């Protein structure tokens, strides 16, 4: 009987030791996988700064809503080349105050807009700077030194998967990175795969897919580091998600149960000896 008691105590001790070692090992491994840019060094700073400060501009795509404002020395001369400002009253109030809204241009499926006086202009695939230059050239026969301002109204990105707040986000700043997108979504959860973050993008009517490794500093020089409007960022769940804190509690509960059972057996054996 003493041999059985000794065996049970040894068995419980081994099980507890193995579980404790597994928890510590998984914690170290998980911490390593959760670290962004693990290989980043001071020597990488110059190349990263060159890429980050590059003149990135989003391209105009079908479905974009744009405001295009033409200004000049004489407001009356440029007025025909601007969409009229629409005013409307709030129906939920009796006040006479109205809200002024600038009308927008919708880029159609052919990448074109209908511009006052000029007619159809193809802007799809152009950056804002290129679109401004194109409209400026088209207005030269009518205006002297026009100033063109273009802004996106529906610049949105979607963040899905293992993030704290998945959803669609409207971006006021058209220079947005994948890190900005993840920050808006509350960062990745501990269960997100940081080495295979997927970016889905529509380019010239075709879908493109690229996986980015956020554990590596190479992300800063990736053409997908800066996002385009309507990009979708998807964070896959990792294999560790199955071993969640609930499962860990279950394992500890099992060890506690086995220890209690061993204690009961030892007590019964001791009583029988008496």
Give percent above pLDDT 90 in the chain: 42
240-255 pLDDT, tens digit per residue, is 654 554 455 655 666 6
Is pTM beyond 0.75? Reply is no
Counting the structural domains of the chain, the total is 3
150-179 pLDDT, tens digit per residue, is 999 989 999 999 999 999 999 887 789 999
185-219 pLDDT, tens digit per residue, is 999 998 899 999 999 998 877 899 999 999 888 88
Write down which residue in 136, 152, 168 finishes a domain.
152
Question: Does 105 lie in the same domain as 48?
Answer: no
Question: Does 221 lie in the same domain as 181?
Answer: yes
Beta strands in 128-217 (DSSP E): 147-152, 156-161, 167-170, 197-203, 206-212
Question: Does 231 lie in the same domain as 166?
Answer: yes
Q: What is the DSSP letter of 127?
A: B
Question: Does 204 lie in the same domain as 77?
Answer: no
Q: State the residue range of the domain holding 209.
A: 35-56+155-240
Question: Does 74 lie in the same domain as 40?
Answer: no
Question: Does 51 lie in the same domain as 164?
Answer: yes
**How far is it, in rounded angstroms, from Cα 138 to Cα 134?**
6
Question: Does 101 lie in the same domain as 137?
Answer: yes
Provide the β-strand partners of residue 101. Answer: 86
Identify the CA nearest to 212 among candidates 32, 36, 41. 36
What CATH code is carried by the domain that includes residue 206?
A: 3.10.560.10
Question: Does 83 lie in the same domain as 27?
Answer: no
């Amino acid at each position: 009987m003493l041999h059985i008691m000794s065996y049970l105590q040894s068995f419980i001790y081994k099980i507890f030791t193995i579980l404790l070692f597994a928890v510590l090992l998984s914690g170290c491994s998980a911490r390593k996988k959760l670290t962004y840019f693990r290989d980043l060094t001071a020597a990488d700073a110059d190349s990263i700064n060159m890429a980050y400060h590059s003149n990135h501009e989003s391209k105009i795509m079908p479905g974009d809503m744009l405001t295009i404002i033409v200004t000049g020395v004489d407001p009356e001369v440029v007025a025909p080349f601007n969409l009229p400002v629409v005013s409307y009253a709030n129906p939920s109030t009796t006040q006479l105050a109205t809200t002024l809204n600038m009308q927008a241009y919708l880029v159609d499926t052919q990448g074109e807009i209908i511009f006052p006086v000029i007619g159809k202009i193809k802007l799809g695939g152009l950056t804002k700077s290129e679109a401004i230059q194109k409209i400026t050239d088209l207005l030269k026969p009518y205006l002297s030194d026009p100033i063109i301002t273009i802004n996106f109204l529906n610049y949105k990105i979607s963040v899905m998967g293992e993030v704290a707040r998945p959803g669609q986000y409207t971006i006021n700043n058209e220079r947005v990175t994948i890190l900005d997108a993840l920050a808006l979504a509350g960062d990745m959860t501990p269960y997100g795969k940081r080495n295979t973050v997927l970016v889905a993008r529509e380019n010239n009517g075709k879908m493109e897919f690229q996986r980015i490794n956020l554990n590596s500093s190479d992300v800063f020089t990736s053409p997908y580091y800066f996002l385009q409007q309507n990009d979708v960022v998807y964070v896959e769940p990792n294999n560790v998600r199955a071993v969640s804190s609930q499962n860990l509690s279950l394992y500890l509960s099992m060890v506690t149960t086995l220890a209690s059972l061993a204690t009961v057996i030892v007590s019964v054996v001791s009583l029988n000896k008496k």
